[in-house]
Structure 1
Amino acid sequence: MTSESNPTALDPWADLEARVTACRRCPRLVAWREEVARVRRRAFRDQTYWGRPVPGFGDHNARVLVVGLAPGAHGANRTGRMFTGDASGAFLYAALYRAGFANQPVAHHRGDGLRLRDMYITAVVRCVPPQNRPTASEIRACLPYLVEEIQLLQPSLKVIVALGRIAFDGVRRAYQQMGHALPKMSFAHGAQYDLGPGLPTLIASYHPSRQNTQTGRLTPEMFDRIWQQVRALLPDPPPRPKEDSHHEPERLD
């Protein structure tokens, strides 16, 4: 097969996305994501759920990487785009818009025009887990995808924001898997760590889950301060991204 007949052969991002969306490594997650897509929530009964692993999206030349836990059952597992279509995403994208990383404060579906500026968003686990709790083996099975994303972003990457303890631990394990000796780190909201020479800064944040935002554990003001920390590490304006590097066009599959 030539590169002309297989466009992913020349595009590492397209190749990664193809492998992620076709992944069936974890039987429990495959069964659950497909059951959720089949049964559906009453409010979305007339919609076709994505029901597959959800790839990351955003600017492929980003200086900022945001890492979440996993797709939401009726958010990303329905829409096919990270943090899209649920309360967590509404909280996140409103904050990113205020901070200048997104062109709009809302995210409803893949074709809604949302674009990220200087940012790429992904998750430690690509399939929705039951009760939002992936097992240790499921996290390990998905970790190579995060490693690959970090490696692809490495030429420009300056800051990683880990949303929640599992994401924080996942980033740490990804760098250890790449052979880096990291400083001692513990999760705390707003904690900031220099991962080493030539490596990005890691910032920890509470996850914008309903459990955190509705109880006041994570407020909009607290979340805004996280993105202010990020901005402080990026003193110069972000480079103007190419049209095809930061916007994922609507897919009809």
Structure 2
Amino acid sequence: MFSNLSLGALGFSLDHPTAVDLAARHGFGGLDPDLGHLQRLGSPSAVEEFAAGVRERGLQWGIAGLPVDLYAPVTDFVTAVAGLADAVAPLTAAGVTRIGTWLRPMHDDLDYRHNWRLHVSRLQLVADVLAGAGLRLGLEYIGPKTFWSTERFPFLHSLGEARELIADTGARNIGLILDSYHWYTAGEDADDLAGLTDAEIVSVDTNDARDDRTRDEQQDLDRRLPYDTGVIDLDGFAAALRSAGYTGPVKVEPFMKSLAAQPVDDVLDDVSARLGRFVG
């Protein structure tokens, strides 16, 4: 596995060439691709040239964001899927192989069974298009009880449920986005990760949790940097990933507004060191 930079996940809004420069300067192994930037380059040859420059800096690609809203009204969803192949073509030209989204863990109208069927059918359509573009789709389950309990019908919010949903789609290019924060808030431990393989894991996020809240009090958008509090067993999490033979990106996504108020170089020095400890 390699340390991966996502400036957006740290609260910074900088252009993609600057992100590439910062990732190389601060010793990251890779960075998330900016689909919008790649699209604006205008031609496959321009994208390929940009991607070659990224590789020359010693950087790998992390994970792009899926440009389809799984929860859009049906007509909007169908339109988005119809345009998906063209939308992700720059990712293919750049050599990106990973794209991801998160799974909403509740619904006000659909009960668990009907929501499950909706997810399976929509994910099958999306995954089929992405397979043609050489892309693996990562799905992130959301663990905090303070989030999934806010609507009438809770939906999947654990690793086991996410793996079962993926299996139900029958798509061979769907895997997991694992986040230590969701793993912790879902009440899981290293044993729950046993048996996972590199082929099942698309991307990884690592964070810590506040030490003044119980597990069930943790808020999805109020996390801490890795190793800040020791609430989450990051050593056990990392060891399980190594046992799985995981070779992909690991990034930090703490949702801490205070980071963007600090000098970006100071933040990235700190984050890079923390990720270096995690990936070993």
After TM superposition, the score normalised by the length of structure 2 is 0.29
Q: Which has more helix, going by share of residues?
A: 2
* Structure of higher CA gyration radius: 2
